[in-house]
Amino acid sequence: MTTEVHELPEVGEIVVATIAKIGDHGAYATLDEYNGIQGFLHVSEIAHGWVRNVSKFVKEGEKKVLLVKKIRAGR
């Protein structure tokens, strides 16, 4: 059995990620299956309703299963 590795995930793909850094507007996550590529989880995507404090919903080092909604290659 071989595992195919792509440079970037595709829009609509579900990925496993590790929360790397938390900011005021969301969290940065390292995509575990994509050689350390980082993605951004915007505060509006973290929970239903208003999120005052992102760190109440995600913690650094925590694993999350996420949906890729947009790709900005080269950033």
Could you report the per-residue pLDDT of 39-59, keeping only the tens digit for each? 999 999 998 889 899 999 999
Taking the C-alpha atoms of residue 18 and residue 61, their distance in angstroms, rounded to an integer, is 6
Those residues whose C-beta lies under 8 Å from the C-beta of residue 14, and which sit 6 or more positions away, are 65, 66, 67, 68
CA max distance for the chain: 45
Domain 14-67: assigned CATH number? 2.40.50.140
Amino acid at 65: V
Q: What is the pLDDT of residue 7?
A: 85
Taking the C-alpha atoms of residue 12 and residue 52, their distance in angstroms, rounded to an integer, is 27
Provide mean pLDDT across the span 21-45: 94
Q: pTM of the entire structure?
A: 0.82
> What does the block give as tokens for 68?
């890729």
The domain spans of the chain are 14-67
